[in-house]
Every structure is written in structure tokens, then in C-alpha cells.
């Protein structure tokens, strides 16, 4: 058992030829700092080139959360105090970790108990094995803070049926392990109570035994809750509709189905989340078929993130959701109708596009 690069919030060990990454920032739901992503990438690059490392397991020190995403509150504070350099470095570091996972070339298993959101989904979805449990809560909530579903979401949400991808990315709807299995966002489900035992078994096995070990522990996910909602999801998010038309469909449905929690969520999301963020992700999904690999997806995410964090909506969104917690952001522009094609074109304009690597 060999420890490497101890760091307050992330730990690395080599056990029986397997690498173990433990996210250990439980009070912040393992929100990723620039130090965490920098260390993780450095270790993964070393393990990638080390023939003694057969596979890697990424897990949390506590079952409440795998990872709730990047520490965007910290990024906001550094922008206010010091300008954009540190925030730029964080987003670049986060995306480079996702790229290192996707291009690792050996099995990487993510044990996704509890909260898996935003940048946490980025860590998990680029692994070869994504193990969720009955406690998993998966979401891409970035439109609530003036950002957008990034970390390669154009690919992993883009593989979902388009109406579902729009629901998840534009409104931040939370889904669970069985839903993720149905959508291909998880490869297996294991009971939360057995995650620790599974982790140990994965550390004790060879890379050729991984699938067999997981098969011993996997559970029947049951019927996904999302199945029940599919007619409504398709009715709101189908076809070539604009976000304004989707919002109108949801509001019309709410009159007919006042007790439908999903419809209520969608109506509230369209009314309260950042209009630019919603429309940006709508366009990003339209482009998804033309994005051929993870490097291309993350390079575009980096470009868009650099533009989005320089808008007032990011500072305001994080303030409203995570700092003052009044959940009353003042967006600019403040409605979907005011987010015109020229504004989106400017965000996606490749002039000045920065290379990720």
C-alpha cells in the first residue's frame, strides 16, 4: 500500500496494483478545487504510463456525495478579488482532468453514491465503469448559476434522447440511478450498503476480473421513474421547438396538470434560470452530432466557459444560489425572448478560441 501526494481534500493510493482516488471534502460534497483537479490530473498521467497500475477506482470518503461539481463559489470569489486568471485555470484544470480520464487507456471505475452533479458528473461519465446506487442523485444544474452544462455534457447528455437531454441540461432536473441506467449514464447499479465491499473487491482484483466482480454485486435497478414522465417530457421538449416554445408548452400543460411535479419543475426552471444559459445549451445540443470526440467537446466547453464567466450573470447567479441564497438572481437579459441569435453567435464565435491543451 503506497501513498502518493497527500492533499487535504483528495488522496491517492496504490493497492495491489490498482490506483485508488478518494475525494475527501465531505462538508462541501467533494466540490472540486483547482488544487484537487491539478493533483488528480498529475497522478492520472503518472498512473497511465505506469505498467504496474492495472486500473483505477475513484470513490468518495462519505456516501452522501460522490462529487457535487466544481467549487464555483470559490471561482467567483477569485474573480471578484483578482480577476479571471485563477478561474480560467480552474476550468482548464477541470476539463483536462476529464480528458485524462477519457484518454486513460485502462479501466477507471467511478463509485457514484449520493450526489453526482456538474463537474462530478464529468469525473464519472468519462470513466469506463460508472457504478450508481439507489441513493444516486444525478443532475447538471449549471443554468441556475449563469453557466451551462459543461465537462463534455454535449456528448454524454447528447447520447440521451433529445427531449431528455434538453430536460436535464436546460432545467437541471434531478434523476436517480435507475434513470441513469436507462439513459446509458450508468453501467451498473450496486446497493449503497455494498459500495465499500465492492471497492475493496475492485482493489483486490486484476483488470480482467473487474466485470465479474461488479456482476457479483450489481442489483436490479427496477423501473426508472423517468419512464412515467416520458410522455410529458416528449410533449414539452420534442422536435425543433425553440426554448420559448418549450416554455409555452410547459405553461399550458401546468394548467391541465397542476399537480404534476415535473411540469411544475420545468415551468419554474424556465421562469427562474439564466435565459442565456438555457439557450446556450439548447444550441450546444444542436451541435452535438458534429462534435466527434471528447477533446473537441472539452475545448468548446473551455471556450464557452471563458466567455460565460465574464458575463455578469455568472457572478449574480452564484451570489443568488450559493452566497446570499435568496434564489432571486437578476439576469441580463432577463427573458428567453431577449436572448437573440446575435448574442448566441457571439458566445460561440471561434475567433480567439483558446486551445485547451
**240 an active-site residue?**
no
* Closest by CA position to 23, among listed 73, 74, 64, 55: 64
Instruction: Quote the CA–CA distance of 45 and 37 in Å, as a whole number.
Output: 12
What Cα–Cα distance (Å) separates residue 244 from each residue in 93, 172, 240, 308, 336? Answer: 35, 17, 11, 21, 6
Which H helix or E strand runs over 108?
A: strand 108-112
Which H helix or E strand runs over 352?
A: none
Strand order in the sheet with 55-60: 2-7, 10-15, 18-23, 55-60, 108-112, 129-132, 188-189
Strand 175-176 vs strand 137-139: parallel, antiparallel, or unpaired?
Answer: antiparallel
Q: What are phi and psi of 22, to 5 degrees?
A: -115, 115
Cell numbers at residue 107, please?
A: 479501466
Inter-residue contact 41 to 229 (CB < 8 Å): no
**150 an active-site residue?**
yes
Q: What are phi and psi of 309, to 5 degrees?
A: -70, -15
Name the active-site residue from 19, 70, 93, 169: 70
Taking the CA atoms of residue 235, residue 237, residue 241 and residue 247 in that order, the dihedral angle to the nearest 10 degrees is: 90
* Closest by CA position to 235, among listed 263, 273, 277: 263
The half-sphere exposure of 335 on its side-chain side, counting CA atoms within 13 A, is 6
Cell numbers at residue 208, please?
A: 480482467
Is 342 strand, coil or helix?
helix
Q: What are phi and psi of 42, to 5 degrees?
A: -60, -45
Name the active-site residue from 93, 114, 118, 119: 119
**119 an active-site residue?**
yes
Name the active-site residue from 150, 301, 313, 316: 150
Q: Which residues are catalytic?
A: 70, 119, 142, 150
Amino acid at each position: 500500500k503506497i501513498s502518493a501526494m497527500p492533499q487535504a481534500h483528495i488522496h491517492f493510493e496504490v493497492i495491489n496494483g490498482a490506483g485508488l482516488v478518494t475525494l475527501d471534502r465531505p462538508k462541501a460534497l467533494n466540490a472540486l478545487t483547482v488544487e484537487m483537479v491539478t493533483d488528480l490530473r498529475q497522478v492520472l498521467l503518472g498512473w497511465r504510463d505506469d505498467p504496474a497500475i492495472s486500473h483505477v477506482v475513484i470513490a468518495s470518503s462519505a456516501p452522501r456525495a460522490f462529487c457535487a461539481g466544481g467549487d464555483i463559489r470559490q471561482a467567483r470569489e477569485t474573480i471578484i478579488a483578482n480577476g479571471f486568471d485563477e478561474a480560467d485555470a480552474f476550468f482548464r484544470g477541470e476539463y483536462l482532468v476529464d480528458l485524462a480520464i477519457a484518454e486513460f487507456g485502462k479501466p477507471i471505475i467511478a463509485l457514484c453514491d449520493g450526489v453526482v452533479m456538474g463537474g462530478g458528473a464529468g469525473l464519472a461519465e468519462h470513466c469506463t465503469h460508472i457504478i450508481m446506487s439507489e441513493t444516486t442523485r444525478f443532475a447538471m444544474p449549471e443554468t441556475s448559476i449563469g453557466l451551462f452544462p459543461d465537462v463534455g455534457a454535449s456528448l454524454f447528455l447528447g447520447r440521451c434522447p433529445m427531449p431528455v437531454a434538453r430536460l436535464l441540461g436546460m432545467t437541471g432536473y434531478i434523476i436517480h440511478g435507475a434513470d441513469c441506467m436507462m439513459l446509458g449514464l450508468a453501467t451498473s447499479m450496486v446497493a449503497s450498503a455494498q459500495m465499500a465491499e465492492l471497492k475493496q473487491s475492485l482493489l483486490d482484483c486484476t483488470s480482467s476480473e473487474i466485470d465479474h466482480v461488479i456482476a457479483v454485486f450489481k442489483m436490479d435497478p427496477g423501473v426508472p421513474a423517468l419512464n412515467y414522465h416520458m410522455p410529458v417530457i416528449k410533449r414539452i421538449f420534442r422536435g425543433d421547438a425553440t426554448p420559448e416554445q418549450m416554455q409555452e408548452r410547459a405553461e399550458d400543460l401546468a394548467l391541465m396538470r397542476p399537480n404534476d411535479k415535473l411540469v411544475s419543475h420545468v415551468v419554474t426552471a424556465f421562469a427562474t434560470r439564466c435565459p442565456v444559459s438555457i439557450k446556450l445549451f439548447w444550441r450546444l445540443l444542436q451541435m452535438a452530432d458534429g462534435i466527434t470526440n471528447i477533446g473537441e467537446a472539452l475545448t468548446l466547453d473551455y471556450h464557452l466557459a471563458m466567455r460565460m464567466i465574464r458575463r455578469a450573470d455568472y457572478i449574480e447567479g452564484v451570489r443568488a444560489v450559493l452566497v446570499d441564497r435568496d434564489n432571486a438572481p437578476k439576469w441580463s437579459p432577463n427573458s428567453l425572448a431577449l436572448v437573440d441569435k446575435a448574442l448566441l453567435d457571439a458566445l460561440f464565435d471561434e475567433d480567439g478560441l483558446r486551445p485547451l491543451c
